[in-house]
Amino acid sequence: MPTRRFKIFRYNPHTDERPRYQEYEVQVPTGSTVLDALNEIKWTQDGTLTYRRSCRHGICGSCAMTINGANMLACEAQVHTLKRDPIVVEPLRSFPVIKDLVVDMDGFFDKLLLVKPYLIVKTPPPTDKERYQSPEDRKLLDGAYECILCGACTSSCPSFWADKEFLGPAALLKAYRFIFDTRDEGVQERLDVLDNKHGLWRCHTIFNCVEACPKGLNPTWAIGELKKKVISEKF
Amino acid sequence: MIIHRHDVVVVGAGLAGLYAALMTSDKVDTAVVSKVYPTRSHSGAAQGGCAASLGNEVEDHWEWHFYDTVRGSDFLGDQDAQEILVKEAPLVIYECEHMGVPFSRTPEGKIAQRPFGGHFGNFGKTPMRRSCYAADRTGHAQLHTLFEQCLKRGVRLYNEFFLLHLIVRDDRCYGGVAWDLRHGGLHCFHAKAVMLATGGYARAWKITTNSMSNTGDGLSLVLRAGLPLEDMEFVQFHPTGLYRSGILVSEAARGEGGYLINGKGERFMERYAPEKMELAPRDVISRSEQTEIDEGRGINGEAYVHLDLRHLGREAIMEKLPQIHELAWKFAGVDCIEEPIPIQPSAHYAMGGIPTDVHGQVLKDEKKTPVVGLYAAGECACVSNHGANRLGTNSTLDCCVYGRRSGIAMAKFVAEEGELLPDLPEGAAEPARELVTRIFKSKGKERMVEIREQLRETMTENMGVFRTEDSMSKALRVVKELQERYKELSIQDKSQQFNTEFMEAVELGYLLDFVEPIIVGGLARKESRGAHFRKDFPQRDDKNWLKHTLAWKTEEGIRLGYKPVVITRFPPEERKY
Ligand SMILES: Cc1cc2nc3c(=O)[nH]c(=O)nc-3n(C[C@H](O)[C@H](O)[C@H](O)COP(=O)(O)OP(=O)(O)OC[C@H]3O[C@@H](n4cnc5c(N)ncnc54)[C@H](O)[C@@H]3O)c2cc1C
Ligand code: FES
């Protein structure tokens, strides 16, 4: 069975003076993902290695991390596609480290809350019936509602590195998901947070988020649409 | 120890838990405790949809849905509960839509509906479109929407808090004790009403569709509190888990017209369910696949068959099954537009669980005596909606309908209880403290991975699609042995912060507890019904076994009891597809 070397970021801010990297050698049967390899290390070599995971098929958003310098989901990263040796695994950058590959995402979720990430309606819905929405209108949400809130995009964004108050691509994509939902009536309530120097205008279309998104979504494009929307709402 | 006081504490932030919290939070002080961040809950993995007789695409009636659910359950479901499930289905779907779930739509703009196994029209006769869906990300769309509504309403969330102990004394629940994963340390949650919505348990099998966090925690906590579990022997095996990993390929693939093909290139369902073919219920298809595999007609004689979508064409696959396309590519290296997908039966769903009444209140015995202040809903509960076999898309529905009902019942209960919380019983948190000390201090020589993997292999091999007296007795022997070895378990990570090794050790303890009633209940039930299929008793036996199993954990092992099935409308008949 083939083996691969992994060089993994280790740090517990409560007990370690500074971070270090630790190397492991792991057997990787065909089809192994980086998550499989981390599990193998944790279960057979070093029980102290710490990371988040749950669904193991790219839907729960727990396992985003930096692998050979790029943000990915560990459970989707096929080991055989990673050419660099050893494979370097680090926590998502620019979020505080809690332990090893586990980062503090409270700030990330606080940003999400700022854009009012929920349907805002003023007209009461019909009783005993759904609201109608045409398939074309529904299609506007494709590419936005699929977000799994893994944080890979926001962590890869240079504007976020420079301005920790920047909402970041994930929160902005969420704003798009609601503002472009034809059922929503909350554009005005969201404008203040969006139309702001830590909001939409902080995005300089660097496209890192697009590259980082494991679900193939395009936050930069959505931010562009939001910018147009904000301008049209204002004038 | 920090003590938190709330009117209602919901444990679990999947569809069932969040729906309940939305029902209580505007009336009474509500907290949700979850070992994973809410959007990481397993519900987000549900793909295919949520059933309701909206009749948006073809004529449908709740009575038809009712009949399918009863027949699907192989007549072991309680028909009072099943009637509520299907009658309230349209209501919760509309409520979900009103909250913002981005359902796929029909050309007129109504919620779109697709066919799903086991769902038919006109009492089992005509094809049906009953599953409401958001492409093949329905659970994701529902979970995120409910979570967003919780944010909107300011529900108090305790994320990454891991429940270790349930405080139950004299038929009343007072709260629970949880471990703060992030910082370490025990927190006591003291409440008037506690709800368990801790989800499924299929991580006890080696080949499973389930998330790694589905370790049946709530089930074992209930057993440890001296309360029974119901119908645990009924375990659903999904016919289309990816070969080796078990990762789910949604039944939507067959709903949209996918074929099952064996090693000889035959659509083998012709032999087992000539009328309904690939749309027969899951237990029937899983057994058919396993038979093909066991008789050497797997692909190249190996332990898998093919799910073929190629004839659907690129456009339909990308429009209706985009996630399946992605999953097959990422986890099996197969482009399902060009090639068939290798699949095998995988442990998927718990029909049994914590016995409750139709308001979610937990029941403690054959006489259905309620436990005051304790509720359960979703996959961990057994109302029983699913009896011996669950129909696809009826589970997320169950979470919504019964999560909602539990929420309403808890809000009412709390209002009637008055201002004061009942005092915590003496030494309420001791068992949690002992557990933590034991695991952190142990110098035992047993390693987690060996015990856990042996358990999972045993369950897949001996408590799988087909069972016999021998296989189940063997499983029981192994489990007993592993329970002993577990006492000698030690962990390497002794730190307080985010100790996932500690969490896995506790979860292993949960796995080892709830599997015992599954095996003992299965050994006792000398018949085949729904998902429980015994080669040595291949017939259903209504005379002796049309009853629910209850299982208690005692010093001497598992004690069994039985209670009757509620039959209101459809008397048992032969179940043929
Ligand atoms: C891959 C897959 C696809 C599926 N597709 C469908 C479908 O299309 N349609 C359908 O109807 N059904 C489907 N099902 C079944 C359905 O998804 C589940 O039965 C349902 O989502 C369970 O929801 P729940 O709310 O009961 O629990 P979950 O969503 O599993 O949530 C459990 C919650 O409990 C918490 N928890 C557990 N233990 C503890 C503890 N000790 N301490 C604190 N918190 C704890 C977890 O953190 C989590 O928040 C599918 C299942 C699988 C495996
Ligand atoms: S484990 Fe769920 S996204 Fe990777």
Name the amino acid, one letter, at B218: G
Atom of ligand 1 lying closest to residue B248 CA: 1
- Report the alpha-carbon distance of residue B459 to residue B215 in Å, rounded: 14
When CB atoms are compared, the residue of B91, B109, B244 closest to A133 is B109
Q: What's the rounded Cα separation, in Å, for the pair A216 and A210? A: 7
Q: How far is A210 from chain B (nearest CA, A)?
A: 17
Q: Which DSSP symbol is given to B485?
A: H
What are the residue ranges in chain B where pLDDT is below 70? none
The runs of H, that is alpha helices, within B525-552 are 542-545
Is residue B167 within 8 A of residue B222, CB to CB? The reply is no
Ligand lying closest to the C-alpha of residue B50: 1
Closest CA to B18 of B78, B96, B122, B87: B96
Residues 6+ apart with CB under 8 A from B420: none
Three-state DSSP class for B572?
Answer: coil
* Sheet with B131-132, side-by-side order of all strands: B50-51, B131-132, B113-114
Any alpha helices (H) in A56-127, and if so which ranges?
Answer: 106-114
Q: Where in chain A are all domains bearing CATH 1.10.1060.10? A: 106-234
CATH superfamily of the A3-103 domain: Beta-grasp domain (3.10.20.30)
Q: What is the mean pLDDT of residues A97-111?
A: 97
Q: How many CB atoms lie within 10 A of CB B125?
A: 10
- Cβ atoms of B330 and A76 within 8 Å: the answer is yes
Euclidean distance between CA atoms A63 and B223, whole angstroms: 32
State chain A's mean pLDDT as an integer.
96
The DSSP output letter for B223 is H
C-alpha distances out from residue A67 to A204, B199, B244, Å = 25, 31, 25
Three-state DSSP state, A114? helix
| Angle between helix B79-87 and B62-72 (nearest 10) | 140
Each residue of B44-93: pLDDT tens digit?
999 889 999 999 999 999 999 999 999 999 999 999 999 999 999 999 99
The CA distance from A125 to the nearest CA of chain B, in Å, is 6
Q: What is the DSSP track for A50-73?
A: ----SSSSSSS---EEEETTEEEE
Q: Ligand 1 mean position to B41 CA, how many Å?
A: 6
Q: Is A62 in contact with B91 (Cβ distance < 8 A)?
A: no
Give the tokens for residue A134.
């045409």
Task: State the SS3 of B2-45.
Answer: EEEEEEEEEECCCHHHHHHHHHHCCCCCEEEEECCCHHHCHHHH
Whole-angstrom distance, CA of residue A52 vs CA of residue A183:
35
Mark yes or no for CB contact A55/B212 under 8 Å: yes
A213 vs A228: CA distance, rounded Å: 23
Q: What is the pLDDT of residues B29-55, one digit of tens each?
A: 999 999 999 999 999 999 889 999 999
Chain B residues closer than 8 Å to A112 by CB: 151
Q: What Å distances lie between residue B426 and B174, B419, B430, CA to CA? A: 11, 21, 9
Q: Decide whether any atom of ligand 2 lies within 6 Å of the A33 Cβ.
A: no
User: Ligand 2 within 6 A of A64 CB?
Assistant: no
Nearest CB to A60: which of B40, B145, B151? B40
Neighboring chain A residues of B12 at a CB cutoff of 8 Å: none
Q: Which atom of ligand 1 is nearest to the CA of A55?
A: 1
Compare CB distances from A54 to B91, B212, B496 and report the shortest one's residue.
B212
User: A106-234: what fold?
Assistant: Fumarate Reductase Iron-sulfur Protein; Chain B, domain 2 (1.10.1060)
In degrees, to the nearest 5, what angle opens at C-alpha B420 toward C-alphas B417 and B424?
Answer: 105
By DSSP bridging, strand B354-355 and strand B381-382 are: parallel
Six token digits for residue B459: 């369950």
Q: Where in chain A is the domain with CATH 3.10.20.30?
A: 3-103
B153 included as an active-site residue = no
Res A195: pLDDT: 93
* pLDDT score, position A234: 77
DSSP state of B563: E
**DSSP per-residue string spanning B229-244:** EE-TT-EEEEEEEETT
Residues in B closer than 8 angstroms to A129, CB to CB, are 94
Tens-digit pLDDT profile for residues A57-82: 999 999 999 999 999 999 999 999 99
- For residue B224, count other CB atoms closer than 10 A to its CB: 16
With CB atoms and an 8 Å threshold, state whether B491 touches A47.
yes
DSSP string for A25-37: EEE--TT-BHHHH
Q: How much is the pTM?
A: 0.97
Helix (H), strand (E) at residue A102: strand A102-103
Between CA A186 and CA A194 the distance in angstroms is 12
User: Which candidate from A55, A98, A117 shows the least CB-CB separation from B182?
Assistant: A98
Buried b (16+ CB within 10 A) or exposed e, A107-145: bbbebbebbbbbbbbeeebeeeebbbbeeeebebbebbb
| Residue A19 reports pLDDT greater than 80 | yes
Best residue in B87, B96, B97, B446 to probe A by mutation, most A CBs within 10 Å? B97
Distance between CA atoms of residues B253 and B343, nearest Å: 12
Model ipTM value? 0.98
B375 Rama sector, left if φ>0, alpha if ψ -120 to 50, beta otherwise: beta
Contact at CB, A54 and B496, closer than 8 angstroms: no
Distance from CA of B433 to the nearest CA of A (A): 22
Under 8 Å between Cβ of A147 and A170: yes
Ligand 2 atom nearest to CA at A59: 3
* Statement: residue A122 has pLDDT above 80: yes
Distant-in-sequence, close-in-space partners of A72: CB < 8 Å, separation ≥ 6: A34, A64, A65, A66, A152, A212, A214
Least confident span in A150-159, A196-205, B183-192: A196-205
pLDDT of residue A36: 96
- Tell me the C-alpha distance between B249 and B246, whole Å: 9
**H or E, element range at B141:** helix B138-152
CB contact under 8 A, A130 and B39: no
Residues of B in contact with A181 (CB under 8 A): 100, 102
Q: Is the CB of residue A181 less than 8 Å from the CB of residue A102? A: no
**B560 forms bridges with which residues in the sheet?**
B551
Question: CA-CA distance, A90 to A20, in Å (whole number)?
Answer: 11
**Structure token pair of residue B350:** 């718990």
Q: Which of B254, B282, B405, B534 is catalytic?
A: B282
CA distance B198 to B202: 13
Q: How far is the C-alpha of A138 from the C-alpha of A181, rounded, in Å? A: 7
What is the distance between the alpha carbons of residues A93 and A91, in angstroms, rounded to a whole number?
Answer: 6
Question: What are the φ/ψ torsions at residue A146 (nearest 5 degrees)?
Answer: -75, -10
CB nearest to B36's CB, from A59, A62, A146: A62
Residues of A whose CB is below 8 A from B500: 42, 50-52
B212/A102 touch (CB, cutoff 8 Å), yes or no: no
CB atoms within 10 A of CB B180: 17
Dihedrals phi, psi of B415, to nearest 5 degrees:
-60, -40
Written as one letter, the residue type at B163 is L
Q: What is the C-alpha separation between B454 and B515, in angstroms, rounded?
A: 13
User: How many residues are recorded in chain B?
Assistant: 577
Phi-psi region of A68 (alpha: psi -120 to 50; beta: other; left: phi over 0): left
Q: Tell me which residues have their CB closer than 6 angstroms to ligand 1.
A: B 11-17, 33-36, 41-43, 45-50, 138-139, 162-163, 197-200, 209-210, 213-214, 217, 248, 250, 348-349, 378-380, 392-397, 399
Q: Which residues of B229-248 are buried (b: 16+ CB within 10 A; e: fewer)?
A: bbbbbbbbbbbbbbbbbbbb
Rg (CA), chain A: 20
**Distance of alpha carbon B164 from the chain centroid:** 20
> What residues in A contact B108, CB-CB < 8 Å?
132
